[in-house]
Amino acid sequence: MKVTILGNNSALPAFGRHPSAQAVSVWGEVLLIDCGEGAQVQMQRYGIKWRNIWHIFISHMHGDHYFGLPGLINSMSLLGRVAPLHVYAPLELQEILDKILQVADTKLSYELHFHPLPSESSVLVDNDKFSVTCFPVEHRIFCHGFLIERKTKGRKLLPEKCREYEIPAYFYERLKQGENYEKQDGTVVKNEWVTTQGPSAKRYAYCADTIFTDSYLPFIKDVDTLYHECTYLESDADKAAGRYHCTARQAAEIASKANAKQLLLGHFSSKYRDLEPFKEEATPVFANVQITTEGTAYEI
Amino acid sequence: MKVTILGNNSALPAFGRHPSAQAVSVWGEVLLIDCGEGAQVQMQRYGIKWRNIWHIFISHMHGDHYFGLPGLINSMSLLGRVAPLHVYAPLELQEILDKILQVADTKLSYELHFHPLPSESSVLVDNDKFSVTCFPVEHRIFCHGFLIERKTKGRKLLPEKCREYEIPAYFYERLKQGENYEKQDGTVVKNEWVTTQGPSAKRYAYCADTIFTDSYLPFIKDVDTLYHECTYLESDADKAAGRYHCTARQAAEIASKANAKQLLLGHFSSKYRDLEPFKEEATPVFANVQITTEGTAYEI
C-alpha cells in the first residue's frame, strides 16, 4: 500500500508544485484523493493509470481540491472507459458536474455514480480489499478527511507447496481463509504447510484542509501513515488559524497525539519556495516525518 | 504582436501537449484565448504574466477550452489582483463560475465582468490599441472564432532627433499623430525628420473548433496570421466531419481562400504523437504554415 503525491501545494500552483491530488494504491486499485487542476497530467507523468481508478474522493469545494476533476472525467470518457466510476464529494459538486456535462452536450461512455458526503463520519466504501471512511475536519467550508483501511487478504499461498500436496485450485480461496485441506484418503494438509502470513492490515489517513484541532483525533488514532496539511510555518500561526489551516508544528502535534507511525506533510503555501524549514519545525515534535515531493510514492 | 501557444492539443492532454490556450500580446497587453486545464501552469512556464491580462475569450463550452479558467480566476484573486477582468464567453459559463465561487465562499479581490457571447458576429472590445470581434464558426455546440486587430499607434519617435530639434516632451503624442512642430521662432520641424513609420496594423484570427466550411471566410479575409484547428489528417476526414472538426488539408484550404499570410496549425488529436504529417499535408495547399509547439511565440 502506497500513496503517490500528485500535488502538494495549497491554493495555487507554484515552484513546480501543483494543487492537491494523490493516488493511494491498494491491492491493485488506485483511490484518488482530491483532484486539483492538472491532476490528469500529473497522473500521466507519474504512471498512474486511470483504468485502475474506480473511486475518487473530494474533501471539499475549494477549487485547488477539485478543479482537475471535470477534465479527468471527460478524458476517461474520450478514452472509452466502460467501468463505472464512483465520486464521493460534497453535494454541490454534483450540480457543477451536471451543468458542465450538459452545456458541452456530453454523454459519458461510462456510468458516473455520485455519492454526496454526509455531514458526519460515514463508511463510504467497504469491500473485501479495503474500506474508506470520511470524517469531518474543521475548515472554512464543509470539509472531510478520509481514512483508508487496507484489509488483510488472508494467508498468502505458497504455490509450490500447494502443488506438492496436490491441493486443487478450487480450494485456494479457503486456504487463504486459514482452512486445512483434507485429502480423499483422509490425510490432513495443515494450512501452515502451504501458506504463509499475509500482508497485515494498514491504515492511512488524509487530513486537508483543517484548522488545528483535536476534534478528528478519534478517527485517525494509531494510523500507519498520516498525511496532514501544513500550509504555514509557526511564524505564520495567526494566519494559519485565521484561514483554517495548520502549521508544520501543529501537524506534528496531531501525528504525535494520534500515535501515527509516519507523518507526510503537504499542502504548502505558495509563499514558501524552500520546504526544509517545515521539516526542521516538525521533527522535534514528531520524528518520522517526510516533506512530500510530487511524483514520490510513499510506503504506508 | 505575437501569439504564445500554451496548449495545442484537442480534447485531452497527451504527449506533453495541453488543451487549448494561447496568449496574444498586443501593445503590452495579453489577450488570453481559451483557457484549457493547466493554462496557469503553462503561463508560469512560459513567462506570461497574469497582471498583463485584462481580457479572456472563451470560444465554446467544451471543457478542453475552459477547464483552466476557474483556477486562473481564483489564483489571480489569491495573488491580490485589483484590476478588473473581463471574460467573454458563452452565457452558460457565467452560471458555472458563479456556482464555483459561491460554494467555495469566495469573494474575488477584483471585479470580474462577464460578457456573454452573442449568437452573431459582434465587436467585443474596441479601444485605441486593438479590437476583438467574435464570429460564429460551425461546431457541435455554439462556438465562436475571434479576430484580433492591432491598431497602428501612429508614427514612431526618433528620440535623438527629437532632442536635437529641442522638441518638448509634451508634444511627443502629437508627433505620433503626424503633426509638425513649430518652434517659438516660427521654424517648422517636419514630422518626418523626427519620426519614422510606426508598426502597421495587424490582424490575427483564431478558429477552433469548427467543421470545414466557407461560412466564416468573410471574417478572416486577408488576415496576417490565421490559427486554425486541424484535429485530424485527411485519412480521418470522415471522423473530422462527424465530429465537427477539420483536417490539416482543409485548414490549409481555408487559409488559402482567406488569403492569409501565415497559417498556424493546432488542436491536434491525441491519436497523433508525430505531427510532421500535418505539415506535409498542409504545405502543398498553403506554403507558409507552422505546426505550433507549446511555449513558442509566433510573430503575427
What's the pLDDT tens digit per position in B166-184? 999 999 999 998 899 999 9
**pLDDT computed for residue B187 by the predictor:** 92
- Average pLDDT over chain A reads 96
**pLDDT computed for residue B213 by the predictor:** 97
pLDDT band at residue A106, thresholds of 50, 70 and 90?
Answer: very high
How close is the nearest chain A Cα to the Cα of B142, in Å?
A: 9
β-strands B112-116, B85-89 pairing: parallel
How close is the nearest chain A Cα to the Cα of B207, in Å?
A: 18
Q: Which three cell numbers stand for residue A245?
A: 489551516
Cβ <8 Å between A99 and B99: yes
pLDDT for A183-206, tens place per residue? 999 999 999 999 998 888 999 999
**pLDDT computed for residue A199 by the predictor:** 85
Residues 6+ apart with CB under 8 A from B192: none
- Examine the pLDDT at A154 and tell me if it is beyond 90: no
Q: Which residue of A has its CA nearest to B90?
A: A103
Cβ <8 Å between B99 and A103: no
Beta bridge partners of B19: B9
- Rg of chain B in Å (alpha carbons): 21
Q: Which residue of A has its CA nearest to B269?
A: A78
pLDDT band at residue A128, thresholds of 50, 70 and 90?
Answer: confident
How close is the nearest chain A Cα to the Cα of B291, in Å?
A: 22
Per annotation, catalytic residue among A34, A64, A209, A224: A64
pLDDT for B64-99, tens place per residue? 999 999 999 999 999 999 999 999 999 999 999 999
Q: Which residue of A has its CA nearest to B40?
A: A13
Q: Which three cell numbers stand for residue B43?
A: 503561463
β-strands A297-299, A289-291 pairing: unpaired
How close is the nearest chain B Cα to the Cα of A179, in Å?
A: 49
Chain A residues close to B91, C-beta within 8 Å: none
pLDDT for B106-134, tens place per residue? 999 999 999 999 999 999 999 989 999 99
pTM of the model: 0.91
Inter-CA distances, B237 with B247, B273, B291, Å: 6, 18, 19
Percentage of residues in chain A having pLDDT higher than 70: 100
pLDDT for A253-290, tens place per residue? 999 999 999 999 999 999 999 999 999 999 999 999 99
pLDDT for B27-45, tens place per residue? 889 999 999 999 999 999 9
Residue from A18, A41, A209 whose CB has the most chain B CBs within 10 Å, to mutate: A41
β-strands A130-136, A144-150 pairing: antiparallel
Going from the N-terminus, what domains does chain B have, and what CATH number goes with each?
Answer: 2-153+199-299 (3.60.15.10), 156-195 (no CATH)
pLDDT band at residue A152, thresholds of 50, 70 and 90?
Answer: confident
Q: Which three cell numbers stand for residue B297?
A: 511565440
Chain B residues close to A62, C-beta within 8 Å: 104
Cβ <8 Å between B104 and A37: no
Percentage of residues in chain B having pLDDT higher than 70: 100
Cβ <8 Å between B141 and A79: no
How many Å apart are CA A274 and CA A271, to the nearest integer? 9
**pLDDT computed for residue B279 by the predictor:** 98
pLDDT band at residue A153, thresholds of 50, 70 and 90?
Answer: confident
Percentage of residues in chain A having pLDDT higher than 90: 95
Taking any CB pair shorter than 8 Å as contact, residues of chain A touching chain B are 11-14, 18-19, 37-38, 40-41, 44, 61-64, 67-68, 70-71, 74-75, 78-79, 90, 92-93, 95-96, 99-100, 103-105, 140-141
Q: What angle do CA A6, A8, A11 make, to 5 degrees?
A: 115
What distance separates the 2 farthest-apart alpha carbons in chain B? 75
Tell me how many helices (H) and strands (E) chain A has.
Answer: 10, 18
- Examine the pLDDT at A65 and tell me if it is beyond 90: yes
- The candidate with the shortest Cα–Cα distance to B57, out of B22, B18, B17, B8, is B22
pLDDT for B98-109, tens place per residue? 999 999 999 999
- Examine the pLDDT at B153 and tell me if it is beyond 90: no
Q: What are phi and psi of B130, to 5 degrees?
A: -160, 165
- Examine the pLDDT at B208 and tell me if it is beyond 90: yes
Contact A9, A18 (CB under 8 A): yes
- Average pLDDT over chain B reads 96
pLDDT band at residue A112, thresholds of 50, 70 and 90?
Answer: very high
B132 conformational bin, left if phi > 0, alpha if psi -120 to 50, beta if neither: beta
How many Å apart are CA B22 and CA B33, to the nearest integer? 5
> Is A185 among the catalytic positions?
no
Inter-CA distances, A66 with A19, A41, A70, A164, B145, Å: 9, 14, 8, 52, 29
